[in-house]
Amino acid sequence: MTTAPKAQRLEARIDSDTKDLIAQAAEVRGLSLTDFVVQAAYSSALSTLEAQRLWQLSQRDQQLFVETLMMAAVPNEALLEAARLSRARFGP
């Protein structure tokens, strides 16, 4: 997390039970309520964006894989020669 000057404000309305729970967790971590909430939100934002990025890469990779499978591969001379040698040595 960056340590840039704090110029922005973020507010949220929550019920007292939720605030108490968050305050307890902040105390366990030795943080102020504000620092705990900001750290938790920041961490969640990073995780969310990373998961979304991986999912996008996964979709692109999946598409590329399918396209590669669908293309007819033409064997080169070295592969054709290896196949001929294999058939000559081991049979059809």
Instruction: Tell me the CATH number at 58.
Output: 1.20.5
Q: Going by C-beta distance under 8 Å and a sequence separation of 6 or more, which residues neighbour residue 31?
A: 39
In a domain, 85, yes or no: yes
Give the chain's mean pLDDT: 92
* CA atoms of 11 and 82, how far apart (whole Å): 69
pLDDT-derived band at 92 (thresholds 50, 70, 90) equals confident
> pLDDT, tens digit, for every residue of 47-84?
999 999 888 878 888 889 899 889 878 899 999 999 99
| 25 HSE (CA, 13 A, CB side) | 13
Which residue is listed with tokens 């007292």?
16
Please indicate, yes or no, if residue 1 is contained in any of the structural domains: no
Q: What is the pLDDT of residues 14-56, one digit of tens each?
A: 999 999 999 999 999 999 999 999 999 999 999 999 999 888 8
Instruction: Tell whether 75 is covered by a domain.
Output: yes
Q: Is residue 9 part of a domain?
A: no
Task: Tell me the residue range of the domain where 41 lies.
Answer: 16-90
Structurally, how many domains does the chain consist of? Answer: 1
Q: Using the 8-state DSSP alphabet, how is residue 29 labeled?
A: H
Decide if 10 is inside a domain.
Answer: no
Q: Binning pLDDT at 50, 70 and 90, where does residue 2 land?
A: low
